[in-house]
Chain A
Amino acid sequence: MNDWLLAPILIPLIGGVIQVFMGYAPISLRRTLALITTSLLLVSALVLLSLAMDDQYRVYAFGNWQPPFGIVLVLDRLAALMVLLTAVLALFCHLFSVGGWDEGNRQFHALFLFQLMGLNIAFLTGDLFNLFVAFEVLLIASYGLLMHGEGTSRTTPGLHYVVLNLTGSALFLISVGLIYSATGTLNMADLARTVPDLTGADLRLVEAGGLMLLVVFGLKAAILPLNFWLPRAYARATAPVAALFAVMTKVGVYAILRVYLLIFGQGAGGLASLGMDWLFPVALATLAIGVIGALGAQNLKTLVAWQVVISVGTLLAPIALGSRAGISAALFYLLSTTWTVAGLFLLAELVANQRGSAGDRIVTAPAMAHRTLLSVLFMLGAVSAAGLPPLSGFFSKVLILQSVTSGPDLAWLWAVVITGSFFTVIAYSRAGSIVFWRTVDGHIESPPGLSNTTRVATGALIATSLVIVALAGPIHQYTDATADQLLDQNGYVNILTVETVGEDH
C-alpha cells in the first residue's frame, strides 16, 4: 500500500473543505487552519521525496482497479520533485498571504488549497484524462484566485486568461479523444506501450492529437505565440497569487516532460520525440521575447512577469533537445527559477507598498522605508534571475549551456541564453537603480510597516537560491537520476503489472 501518494491530494482537499465550512469563522482561525494544512502538505511532500529516492515507481490504484482500467497515481522522482517544489512555494506564498492579502474573500484559503490539490493531482496522476480533470481543478481555482483582491484592474486580464484556457481545455479533450480513438486506452503507461506499434491512419490521428496536446501544454507553459495573456494577468494578480502562479507555467512544462518523454519518447517508433523539432526554436524565441518584454517593462511586477516567460523559454530549450544532461539541467533550473521568481513577485508587492502612489512603477519616488532590506533582497533575486554568480541561477545556466557540446544547437542555445542574460542584467540594473537609488525629496504618507510574516516569506523564497547553491551537488545528482528515469520508458510501463489488493472484494 502506498497510501502516502494520496496525502498531497487529500490534505489540501480536506483542508479546503474545512475552509468551506469555516467561511464565517474568525479569520485568525481560518488562517491557522490553512497554514497547518500547507505545512502538512510540505511534510507529505518530503515523505514522497524520500520514497522516490530509491528509483522505484510507486503506484496507487484508486478503487483497487488494475491499471489500465482504473485511475492510478504514479510516484517517480519527477512527480516527487514537482510536489515538493509546489509545497515549498505554496507554504511561503500562503504565509505571505496571511499578512492581509487573504482578506475580502471568505473563500480565499479554500481556493488556494484546491489549487494545490489540482496541481498535485496533475503531478501524480498516471492517466491522461485524469490529467485533464486535474488541469480543470487547478484552472478553475486559479480563475478564482486571479480575481481575488480589491479593484477592477484584474478583471480584463482575468477574462482573457479564462477564455483562452477554456479554449485550451476544449483542445485537450479533442486530443484525448483522438488518442483514445486510436489506442483505446487512457492510462499513460498503457499508451507508452501501445503508441510504438501504431501505423497508418491510427498513427496520424495520434500524431494530430499529440501535436494538439503540445499546443495545450504550450498555452499553459506560455510559450510563443501563446504567452501574451500572461504579463498583465500575472502583473495584476494579488501578490501571493502571482507568486503561486510561478508554478502554473511549470505545470505545462511538467506535462510536456511527462507526455513527450513517456508516450512520445525516443522509443515511440513513428512518433518518437514528436513535436520537439518545433519546440526548440519556439523555446528560444520565447526566451528572446521574454527578454524584450523585461527590457521594456515599466513596472517591477511586469518585469517579473516577463521573467516568467524567460524562464519558460530557458526551461524548454534543453528539454526539446532531449539529452539526459539537458533534462537534468532544466529540472535544476526549474527549482531555482520558480522560487526566485515567486520571491521577486512578493518583493515587488512590498516595494510597491512602500512607495505610495509610485507603486511598483520604475520611476523616481521619495526614498522608501526599509530600503536596505528590500534592495538587498532585490539584488539577490535579480542576480539569481539574471543567472549571475554566485546564486543558483548561474549554476542552472552553466548546466544548461554545458548540456549541448557541439553543432548548430550549441551556437543557437549559447547565443540566445548568454545574450539574453546580458540584457536581463541591463533590465534589472536599470530597474533597481531607479527604484532603490534614484529618489526625489518628499516622503511617503505613512507607509505600511513590514510584517514579519511577509519578511520571512519573501526572504525565504529568495534565500532558496543560496540553499540550492549550497546543496548543488546532491540536487544535481537527484535531477540526473530523474532524467535517467524519464528516459527509460520501460520502467514506467511496468507499473501495469502492479498487484491489486486481495483477490476479490
Chain B
Amino acid sequence: MSLPLVVLLPFLGAIAAPLFAQGGRTAIAVASSVPPLIALAALYPQWPVLANGGVVLFSQPWMPDMGLTLSFRLDGLSLLFALLILVIGLLIILYSRYYLKAQENVAKFYSLLLCFMGAMLGIVLSSNLLLMLIFWELTSLVSFLLIGFWTHKQEARRGARLALAVTGGGGLALLAGILMIGNIVGSFELDDVLAARDQIQAHALYPYALTLVLLGAFTKSAQFPFHFWLPHAMQAPTPVSAYLHSATMVKAGVFLLARLYPALAGTEQWFYMVSFTGMATLLLGAYTAMLKHDLKGLLAYSTVSHLGLITLLFGMGTQLAAVAAVFHVINHATFKASLFMAAGIIDHETGTRDMRRINGLWRYMPHTATLAMVAASSMAGVPLLNGFLSKEMFFAESLDLNLPGLWAWLPPVIATLAGIFSVAYSARFVHDVFFNGKPVDLPVFPPHEPPRYMKIPVEILVFACVMVGVFPALSVGPLLYAAASATLGGQVPEYHLTVAHGFNLPLMMSFLAFFGGLLMYSQRHRFFRFHARFREIDEKAVFEAVVARFTAAAHRVTGLLENGSLQRYLALLVISVIAITAAPLLGLGVFIGESGLSPVDAPTAIAAAVLALSAVLTALMHRQRFYALTLLSVVGLLVALAFARFSAPDLAMTQLSVEVVTIVLLMLALYYLPSWTPLETSARRRVRDLVVAVLAGGGMTLLTLAMLTRPFSSISSFFLENSKPEGGGTNVVNVILVDFRGFDTLGEITVLAIAALGIYAMLKNTALTPTTGDGQGHAWSRDPHPLMLRQIARPMLPLALMVSAYIFLRGHNLPGGGFIAGLVTSVALLLQYVASGMAWTEDRIPFRYQNMIGLGLLFAIIAGAGSLSFGYPFLTSTFGHIEWPVVGDFELASAMVFDLGVYLTVVGATLLALVSIGRLSPHSAIKPTQETV
C-alpha cells in the first residue's frame, strides 16, 4: 500500500541525498526531486476514490498498549495538503539549486529539506493522533536545524532556538491535549476521535484538552501571542522560508484545526478562543507587515496575518467559513510561496532586502517584477486572482457572524481594516521595490534577471494564482470540494466558485479595502513616524535574555544546594534517616518489651561504662589525634570483649585481629596527616551537629532496647542442627561462613581483594612527606629500624605462621578460621617490614601480593566449582575423616579449601594495602614501582 511509502520516500531521499554530494548542486537537486515525484505518482491513482468523499486507509500495529499504530489516512483534506507539500517542495528544490552557493553544505540542506517534507507528509497523512504528534515534533526539530542552517550567524542560531522553544513547547502542550483526548475516547485513531464528538465535548476534561490542543496549533501557526517566532525564522535561507511559511510548517497548525474540526469545534469555548485569537493575529500581522522595511519581514508578518485570517474562519464555526478557510489555505500557499521566491531572487541579485534601498527594479528585472506584482496583487485580494475569491468569502462570512448586539460589527470592521492593511503592504511591496525612483547604493549593482530556471518555480505558482482566480471551479473546484467535505465530515454546504457574485456588501468591503489601502500606502510615512515612537523589541534578544536569566538563576540555585560540602551532604543523610524513622519509633510507645530487662553484673557494667566513656572522649578529644586514636583502640578492644562476653568467641578474635591492623593503618596515616585538627567550625554548627548526634544516638538506643527486650525466634535452629551432620563442623559460625552462607564470604573476600587493588592503584605515583613529630612536640625517632625490634621480629615470623596454621585448621570446629589466621600472618609479616624495612622484606618475599590475592580468589572459586562436576550447586561442601599427625583424627571438609582461599586473600590484600601506604614516604628505601602501560 502506497501511503506509508509516500511518507517514507522523503526520508529515504534525505539519507540518499548526501551520496550525490560529489555530483555538485545539480546532481543533488535532481536526486532530491525523485522522492516527491514518486510520491506524487503514488498519490495520483487514489484520486478517483477521494474525489467523491472517499477515504484511503492503511493501518499497521506498532505499540498497541500505548494506542500507537502506524495508521495513515488519505482523504480530501490530507490530499490537498500533501499536494501543496509535494508540489511546492519540488519547486523549492529546483529554486534552491540556483539560490545556494556551491561552497555551501548543499547535501545537508537537501537532506534536511527532505526530512522536513517527510515529517509534514507524516502530519497530514497520519490517522493516529500519537503518530501525528511524532511527526509534529519532528517538524519542530528539523525546522530548528533548517532555520539555523547558517550556523555562523548568531541571528540564525537564536531564531532557530526561539522557534524550537515555541513550537516544541507547543508540541508538548499538544501531547498533553492528545493524551487527554485519548483518555476520553479510549483511542487515538482519527476515525474514533472524529466519531466521538459528543462524548468529547461532554467530558469534564474537554476545556483542558481543547486549550492544550489549541496551544499546539497556535504556537505552530504563529498565532498571537505566539506569533513572534515566525519573523525571526526569516534568518533561514529564503527557500526554507518560502517552504516553511507558505505551504508547510505554519500550515500544520491550521491543518490540525481542520483535522479536529468535527471533534472539537462547535462549542462556545472553541468559538471564542479560536476566532478571537484569529482576529487579533489577523490585525496585528497586517499592521506590522506594513511597517517592515525588510522585504522578508513584510512577507513574514503578512503570513502571520493570513494565518490569523484562516484561524478566524475556522473559529467562526460555520460550514461555509470552513470551506473558505480551506480555500484560502490553497491560495495563500501559492501566492506567498511565489512572493518569498521573488524576494529571494531580489535579495540574491541586489544583495539586500531593505525596501528603502531597493527601488525601481522594474528597469533591471522586468520579468521578475511582473511575476511579483501579480502575486502581490493576489495577496492584496485584487479581482481575477485567487486571493480575491477567498477574501470575498471571508468578508461574506464575517458579515454572517451573528455576535450579540454591537459586537456584530466587530468582525466585518476588523476584516475590512485588515484588508486595507494588506492592500497597503502589497502596494508597498510592488511600488517601493519596482518603482519609486532609483536604487540606493545597492551592494550588487546593477542587478539583473536571475538564471532562467530560478524563475520557473515562480512562474508556475503565479500561473496557478491566475488560473484559480479566473477559472476557480475548473482548476481547484473538485480538490476544494473533496477537502472541504473531509473537513466537515461529509456534509458540504452550498457554495459557488465564481469570479464575481454580483454587486454585494462583500464586494463593497473589497473596494473599501482596496482604495483605503492605496490611500494608507500614500500616507505610509505618517505611520512610520507614528510607529517610530515605540521602541522596537527584538523577541530573539528578549528570549536570549530570559534564557540567560533562567540559566543564571538555575546555576545559582544549584550552587546553593550542591555546594560541595561533605558535612552538609552527610547531615542531610543522617537527618533524613532520623526524620523518616521517627514515626515508627514513636509508634513503639513503650520501649521495653515483654521479655523485660535482665540483671547487670558489675564487671560488665564497668566495662560498658569505660567503653561508652572512651567513645565519648574520642569524640571530644578528636582534635588531638593521637589521643583520639589511643582511645579508639580502647573502644575496639572493649567491643571485642563484649563479643566474648556475649558468647561470640569468633567475633572476639576477629575483632581483636582487625583492631590491631586497623590501628596500625591509622598510625601509618597519622605519620603523614597533621596530628592536630584546627578548630574551624562555628559554635552554632557544632551545636547543630551535637543535636543531630544525640538524636541519632538516642534513636539507636531506643531501637536496640526495644529489640533486645522482645522474644525472638529465627531460622538458626536449622544451622545448629545441621552444622555437624551436614556441614561437618562444630563451629556453627564458621560452618555458616564457609558453607551455609559461603556465597556471602566469597563476596566478602572479593571486597577485600578489590579494596587492596584499588588502594594500590590509588597510591601509585603518589608521594607524601611525613610529619616530623606527633604534634605535641615529640619528634619521631631517627632510627628507622631499631635493632631490638629486628632481633625480636625475625624469630617471631615462623612462630606466627605456625600459630595461624593452627588457628586455620581448628577453624571449622573451634573458634578460628581462614580470616583470623590470615590476619595473624599479615601482622607478623608487617612486623618484618617495620623492623627490617621494605627492601629487606620484599627481597625475601618471592611473589606479588596481587597474585596472592588472585590465588586466594581462585582457590575459593575452585572449592565452590568442584561440586558442580558432581551435579551439585556451586559451593556445595563435602567432608571426610583422615588421620592427621599431631592433631590426630581430623575432619577435612572441602569447605576448608574455600577457607584457604579466604586465608590467602586476606594476607595478600592486607599486605598489599599496608605496603602501598608504607611506600608513600619518599625515603621508604624502595624504588617507586613506575607504572608504564
Residues of A within 8 A of B (CB): 1, 3, 6, 10, 13-14, 16-17, 20-21, 23-24, 27, 60-65, 68-71, 103-108, 110-111, 114, 117-118, 121, 129-130, 133-134, 136-137, 140-141, 143-144, 147-148, 156, 159-160, 163-164, 167-168, 171, 174, 177-178, 180-182, 184-185, 190, 201-202, 204-205, 207-208, 211-212, 214-215, 218-219, 225-226, 228-229, 231-232, 275, 278, 289, 292-293, 295-298, 379, 383, 388-390, 394-395, 398-399, 401-402, 405, 414, 418, 421-423, 425-426, 429-430, 433, 436-439, 472-473, 476-477, 480, 501-502, 505
Known: A3-B868, A64-B876. A17 touches B751 (CB 8 A): no
Cα(A141)–Cα(B141), bound, Å: 41
Known: A117-B750, A144-B754, A388-B168. A398 touches B713 (CB 8 A): no
Cα(A204)–Cα(B582), bound, Å: 11
> Which residues of A are found within 8 Å of B553, using beta-carbon distances?
296
Top 6 nearest A-B pairs by Cβ distance? A144-B758, A184-B714, A296-B554, A296-B555, A20-B854, A133-B747
Known: A10-B861, A228-B562, A430-B551. A389 touches B750 (CB 8 A): no
Cα(A243)–Cα(B761), bound, Å: 21
In the complex, are the beta carbons of A205 and B557 less than 8 A apart? Answer: no
In the complex, are the beta carbons of A160 and B179 less than 8 A apart? Answer: no
Question: What is the CB-to-nearest-CB distance from A14 to chain B, in angstroms, rounded to a whole number?
Answer: 7
Q: Which of A68, A111, A171 contacts B577 (CB 8 A)?
A: A171
> Which of A133, A159, A212 gathers the greatest number of chain B CB atoms within 10 Å?
A133
Question: What is the CB-to-nearest-CB distance from B516 to chain A, in angstroms, rounded to a whole number?
Answer: 43
Question: What is the CB-to-nearest-CB distance from A110 to chain B, in angstroms, rounded to a whole number?
Answer: 6
Q: Which of B133, B581, B585, B750 contacts A114 (CB 8 A)?
A: B750
In the complex, are the beta carbons of A201 and B588 less than 8 A apart? Answer: yes
Known: A3-B868, A296-B558. A63 touches B739 (CB 8 A): yes
- A sample of 17 inter-chain contacts (CB < 8 A) reads A13-B857, A17-B858, A63-B743, A68-B715, A104-B931, A106-B931, A111-B757, A114-B754, A130-B741, A133-B747, A164-B570, A181-B712, A204-B584, A204-B706, A228-B561, A232-B562, A296-B551
Q: Which of B182, B740, B748 contacts A70 (CB 8 A)?
A: B740
In the complex, are the beta carbons of A505 and B876 less than 8 A apart? Answer: yes
Cα(A298)–Cα(B551), bound, Å: 9
Q: Which of A63, A402, A439 contacts B66 (CB 8 A)?
A: A402
Q: Which of B151-159, B485-493, B500-508 contacts A (4 or more CB under 8 A)?
A: B151-159
**Interface 0/1 of B162-194, CB less than 8 Å to A:** 001100110111011001001100000000000
In the complex, are the beta carbons of B64 and A473 less than 8 A apart? Answer: yes
Q: Which of B570, B584, B857 contacts A20 (CB 8 A)?
A: B857
In the complex, are the beta carbons of B754 and A111 less than 8 A apart? Answer: yes
* B851 contacts A by Cβ under 8 Å: yes
> Which of B67, B135, B179 gathers the greatest number of chain A CB atoms within 10 Å?
B179
Question: What is the CB-to-nearest-CB distance from A182 to chain B, in angstroms, rounded to a whole number?
Answer: 8
Cα(A6)–Cα(B876), bound, Å: 14
Known: A60-B873, A137-B751. A429 touches B566 (CB 8 A): no
* B593 contacts A by Cβ under 8 Å: yes
Known: A205-B703, A228-B561. A184 touches B168 (CB 8 A): no
* B878 contacts A by Cβ under 8 Å: yes
Q: Which of A6, A24, A472 contacts B62 (CB 8 A)?
A: A472
* B729 contacts A by Cβ under 8 Å: no
> Which residues of A are found within 8 Å of B61, using beta-carbon distances?
473
> Which of B61, B559, B755 gathers the greatest number of chain A CB atoms within 10 Å?
B755
> Which of B547, B569, B574, B742 gathers the greatest number of chain A CB atoms within 10 Å?
B569
Known: A144-B758, A438-B154, A472-B62. A136 touches B172 (CB 8 A): no
Q: Which of A103, A295, A418, A472 contacts B933 (CB 8 A)?
A: A103
**Interface 0/1 of B842-884, CB less than 8 Å to A:** 0000001011011001100100010110011111111000000
Residue of A nearest to B576 (CB): A215
Question: What is the CB-to-nearest-CB distance from A447 to chain B, in angstroms, rounded to a whole number?
Answer: 19
In the complex, are the beta carbons of B703 and A430 less than 8 A apart? Answer: no
> Which residues of A are found within 8 Å of B137, using beta-carbon distances?
388-390, 394
> Which of A168, A177, A201, A501 gathers the greatest number of chain B CB atoms within 10 Å?
A201
> Which residues of B are found within 8 Å of A164, using beta-carbon distances?
566, 569-570, 573
Known: A163-B566, A208-B584, A398-B130. A501 touches B872 (CB 8 A): yes
Question: What is the CB-to-nearest-CB distance from B573 to chain A, in angstroms, rounded to a whole number?
Answer: 6
* B148 contacts A by Cβ under 8 Å: yes
534-575 of chain B: CB within 8 A of chain A: 547, 550-559, 561-564, 566, 568-570, 572-574
> Which residues of B are found within 8 Å of A110, using beta-carbon distances?
754, 757
In the complex, are the beta carbons of B710 and A472 less than 8 A apart? Answer: no
579-601 of chain B: CB within 8 A of chain A: 580-581, 583-585, 587-588, 593
Q: Which of A6, A17, A133, A278 contacts B748 (CB 8 A)?
A: A133
* B160 contacts A by Cβ under 8 Å: yes
**Interface 0/1 of B113-135, CB less than 8 Å to A:** 00000000000000000100111
Cα(A71)–Cα(B748), bound, Å: 14
* B161 contacts A by Cβ under 8 Å: yes
Known: A3-B868, A211-B580, A402-B66. 9 other contacts (CB 8 A): A14-B861, A63-B875, A106-B931, A118-B750, A137-B754, A144-B757, A177-B707, A229-B569, A423-B550
Cα(A156)–Cα(B163), bound, Å: 42
Cα(A231)–Cα(B564), bound, Å: 10
> Which residues of B are found within 8 Å of A137, using beta-carbon distances?
747, 750-751, 754
Question: What is the CB-to-nearest-CB distance from A120 to chain B, in angstroms, rounded to a whole number?
Answer: 12
* B672 contacts A by Cβ under 8 Å: no
In the complex, are the beta carbons of B757 and A215 less than 8 A apart? Answer: no
Cα(A129)–Cα(B737), bound, Å: 13
Q: Which of A21, A204, A215, A505 contacts B573 (CB 8 A)?
A: A215
Question: What is the CB-to-nearest-CB distance from A107 to chain B, in angstroms, rounded to a whole number?
Answer: 4
> Which residues of B are found within 8 Å of A159, using beta-carbon distances?
566
> Which residues of A are found within 8 Å of B739, using beta-carbon distances?
63
Question: What is the CB-to-nearest-CB distance from A297 to chain B, in angstroms, rounded to a whole number?
Answer: 8
> Which residues of A are found within 8 Å of B574, using beta-carbon distances?
167
Question: What is the CB-to-nearest-CB distance from A394 to chain B, in angstroms, rounded to a whole number?
Answer: 7
Cα(A395)–Cα(B566), bound, Å: 38
> Which residues of A are found within 8 Å of B134, using beta-carbon distances?
389-390, 394
**Interface 0/1 of B58-82, CB less than 8 Å to A:** 0001111111100000000000000
Cα(A27)–Cα(B932), bound, Å: 10
Known: A111-B757, A292-B554, A296-B557. A184 touches B713 (CB 8 A): yes
> Which residues of B are found within 8 Å of A160, using beta-carbon distances?
564, 566, 569
In the complex, are the beta carbons of B165 and A426 less than 8 A apart? Answer: yes
Q: Which of B141, B182, B563, B573 contacts A219 (CB 8 A)?
A: B573
Cα(A136)–Cα(B240), bound, Å: 57
Cα(A499)–Cα(B553), bound, Å: 61
Question: What is the CB-to-nearest-CB distance from B495 to chain A, in angstroms, rounded to a whole number?
Answer: 38
Cα(A21)–Cα(B714), bound, Å: 42
Cα(A118)–Cα(B547), bound, Å: 43
**Interface 0/1 of B917-933, CB less than 8 Å to A:** 00000000000000101
Known: A167-B570, A438-B157, A476-B66. A1 touches B581 (CB 8 A): no
Q: Which of A211, A389, A433, A480 contacts B584 (CB 8 A)?
A: A211
Known: A106-B931, A171-B577, A430-B551. A61 touches B64 (CB 8 A): no
* B744 contacts A by Cβ under 8 Å: yes
In the complex, are the beta carbons of A156 and B854 less than 8 A apart? Answer: no
Cα(A473)–Cα(B68), bound, Å: 10
* B760 contacts A by Cβ under 8 Å: yes
In the complex, are the beta carbons of B63 and A422 less than 8 A apart? Answer: no
> Which residues of A are found within 8 Å of B875, using beta-carbon distances?
62-63
Cα(A418)–Cα(B933), bound, Å: 49
Cα(A401)–Cα(B174), bound, Å: 13
In the complex, are the beta carbons of A226 and B573 less than 8 A apart? Answer: yes
Q: Which of B133, B168, B172, B558 contacts A293 (CB 8 A)?
A: B558
> Which residues of A are found within 8 Å of B583, using beta-carbon distances?
207, 211
In the complex, are the beta carbons of B703 and A208 less than 8 A apart? Answer: yes
Q: Which of A20, A429, A501 contacts B873 (CB 8 A)?
A: A501
